Amino acid sequence: MASPAVTPLRIQVREGESVSALLCAPPNPRACYVFAHGAGAGMNHEFMVAIASGLAERGVATLRYQFEYMERGSKRPDVPKVAHLAVRAAVAEAARLLPALPLFAGGKSFGGRMTSQAQAELPLAGVRGLAFVGFPLHPAGKPSIERAAHLREVRCPMLFLQGTRDELADLALLREALTPLGDRATLESFDDADHSFHVRARSGRTDDQVRASLVDVMTQWFADRVG
């Protein structure tokens, strides 16, 4: 397969503020995933790159982008109101660049939660579903389901990709939070994976194998939503 084209972009988030982005588009993509980064690492983190590359190999384009705080080099994440602006701007840019493609959105940890909050407040135009790569249900060591309350306001399909050793998402609690959502929520768990989808050697698998499986699940879920 031909290598995907990776195009650097600037996305205006609000008056006087823009952020970096990367459009990774394989030849003849079938869909586009607007992919937000986690709290501690930006769009160029090797995990983000690996997932984007894996999706491209399977015919899915991605638009990765920075939140404003990451663009500035700050370690303190943006407040939700500001982060939501970046989510909306990135989705709008993906729709402008690839108008014929079905759109999906979401992200890694913090980026996924900011996307779901934005969707809960006001649906993201053209987005058919949300995919979360390690939804951060609660802080480490402080199990609760409060962060999932807004998901009841999300009316589109949602895919939750979670490791069974994720310290930020007790699976029993996540299942409890998702049950009221019915068939709008799909949970796929990855045995022995932590929040970064790292697995121990004794699991019998490698991180690369887990990531490949994760991308396979995402690709099939997108295809099912596209029909």
Whole-angstrom distance, CA of residue 53 vs CA of residue 24: 8
How many folded domains does the chain comprise? 1
List the chain pLDDT tens, one digit each, 227 residues. Answer: 567 889 999 999 999 899 999 999 999 999 999 999 999 999 999 999 999 999 999 999 999 999 999 999 999 999 999 999 999 999 999 999 999 999 999 999 999 999 999 999 999 999 999 999 999 999 999 999 999 999 999 999 999 999 999 999 999 999 999 999 999 999 999 999 999 999 999 999 999 999 999 999 999 999 999 97
Range of the domain at 77: 5-226
CATH number of the domain enclosing 70: 3.40.50.1820
Coil vs helix vs strand at 5: strand
CA-based nearest residue to 22, from 32, 117, 30, 14: 32
Question: Is 204 exposed, middle or buried (CB count within 10 Å of its CB: 0-12, 13-18, 19+)?
Answer: exposed
Whole-angstrom distance, CA of residue 71 vs CA of residue 184: 33
pTM of the predicted protein model: 0.96
Whole-angstrom distance, CA of residue 83 vs CA of residue 120: 14
